[in-house]
Structure 1
């Protein structure tokens, strides 16, 4: 199975490895191969990640009651060999490696195989470790340890649910499509964990509301969304926000106007029935929903 593993830091600098799943080799087998200066030896952390199982025990109870299970941080490990034509080139590649795997800069892995790509947000735990050079100064083994505050692999492409459900098209020149507008929609999360959503609700609407009817949770903002304004909601833990964006791009934080019974819901695993509404007629309203699927392992 062909794969491509790429690490990209937040400045856009990257190093890429390509090959076959079963091509991980020892450094001596890369001698005199300079088509790709960075050759992967080992990458650990595809799946294994610890879990904290929280139990509760009542007096005289046999066994325990399961409360919740939380995944720990992930700790990937990367080992590869640098191959160059001479010592000066090898030194230049070392600088590139140190620059890309800078522990003061966040980054992410992108792993592609079988026409699928998965993303893992990662931070190097230290400056890369460089082993001794070979006798002629043309190759050197490098190892890097990482920490992933979020253990989940993510689907890189944000899934957008269309506002209109197309029915059919006429064979006219230009764009002309007939469909139905949906006040609710079904979103299937076939990942391994609940996932946050990003919502765009285009005005006008009085007290706009988004409901996950599957869980009964909703987000309602007790404000009037004017014509031309867009309400943007992010339910990501640690980054929860609600803004009204005006036509000129000015953002107004309306977090304090959220209904007290609101909850920044996530898409549960399986089907989610999402409904959007308001205290006024929203015929013709546009609501876009996007999200990423989360995976325990790839």
Structure 2
């Protein structure tokens, strides 16, 4: 049985599945998502010329029933908890979808507070139907890594087993990174000094990010390449003004990517970590 966990930004969550009190009946919108197609048309042209396409927001609708066989008051308590978790004023919730051995997550905002129909057959002493409508502005489902995000490492010239996210250890080191998702995905880069003018390349796309700054042994450079969330920080402070003007906030293309880093400092203490989440167009 599929199971859905909805968690708000306060950490409070509800689980919809095949156990009381929240029984999941149907969920729509997890697979399909509308596509906005861009095209242009010239005078006297038959048809049009295709330019590009973008995925629209993902709309998810969930139907289910609150059921209790012990105390009718539990129905009201379950309703109140659902309203607290899906309070739109708290911002986006995280929707985690457990489907057999596959687990994916997406963020969404409740378009309305939970709907509790009052018609015949929709509510009773020990049950209450519910409807949830969520809008996901970022339409992609993401992997959930949790502990598997912990970086592997190299120490004393000995190579240990690689566990994603990928980690580099030497100046000019190359590493293969595989994006198993359906679309390009942004990365988070952590560069631990010492380093001079650190540069991280995606050799597959020919793009690089370079920071014109010297990093000491205690300095940590962090970079995020996500659209609308880009940042460059050194020890948590904004360092966007150190970015080389030819830099590109590159992403991992689907499939295999070859990454490398360069520095004008040959220290073996330098560490570079690149991490990401695969993105999927549907379940």
Deviations 1:21-48 (A, max 9, x none): xxxxxxxxxxxxxx61111111111111
CA distance in 1, matches of 2:65, 2:30: 20
Q: How does 1:280-291 map to 2 (within 5 A)?
A: 280-291=265-276
CA distance in 2, matches of 1:141, 1:297: 27
Deviations 1:178-202 (A, max 9, x none): x985711111112011111011111
The residue aligned with 2:87 is 102
CA distance in 2, matches of 1:64, 1:205: 51
The residue aligned with 2:211 is 221
The residue aligned with 1:203 is 193
The aligned length equals: 268
In structure 2, relative to structure 1, the CA distance for the partners of 1:10 and 1:261 (3 Å cut) is same
Deviation at 1:168, TM superposition (A): 7.5
In structure 2, relative to structure 1, the CA distance for the partners of 1:149 and 1:166 (3 Å cut) is farther
The residue aligned with 1:231 is 221
Say which SS state the counterpart of residue 132 (structure 1) adopts: coil
Deviation at 1:124, TM superposition (A): 0.5
TM-score, scaled to structure 2: 0.87
Instruction: Answer with 1 or 2: which has the greater Rg.
Output: 1
Are 2:48 and 1:64 aligned? yes
Are 2:144 and 1:156 aligned? yes
The residue aligned with 1:142 is 130
The residue aligned with 1:50 is 34
Cα contact 1:54–1:68 (8 A) shared by 2: yes
CA distance in 2, matches of 1:252, 1:68: 37
TM-score, scaled to structure 1: 0.83
In structure 2, relative to structure 1, the CA distance for the partners of 1:136 and 1:260 (3 Å cut) is closer
Deviation at 1:66, TM superposition (A): 2.5
Q: CA RMSD in A?
A: 2.4
For structure 2, the residue ranges without an aligned partner over 5 or more in a row are 162-167
Deviations 1:216-272 (A, max 9, x none): 111111111111111111111111111111xxxxx3311011101111111111211
Which runs of at least 4 in structure 1 moved beyond 6 Å after TM superposition? none
Are 2:228 and 1:244 aligned? no
Say which SS state the counterpart of residue 131 (structure 1) adopts: coil
Deviations 1:99-158 (A, max 9, x none): 111112210111112322100111110111111276752211010111000000000116
Q: How does 1:22-101 map to 2 (within 5 A)?
A: 36-58=20-42, 61-84=45-68, 85-101=70-86
Are 2:174 and 1:188 aligned? no
Deviations 1:50-78 (A, max 9, x none): 00111234455554332211000000001
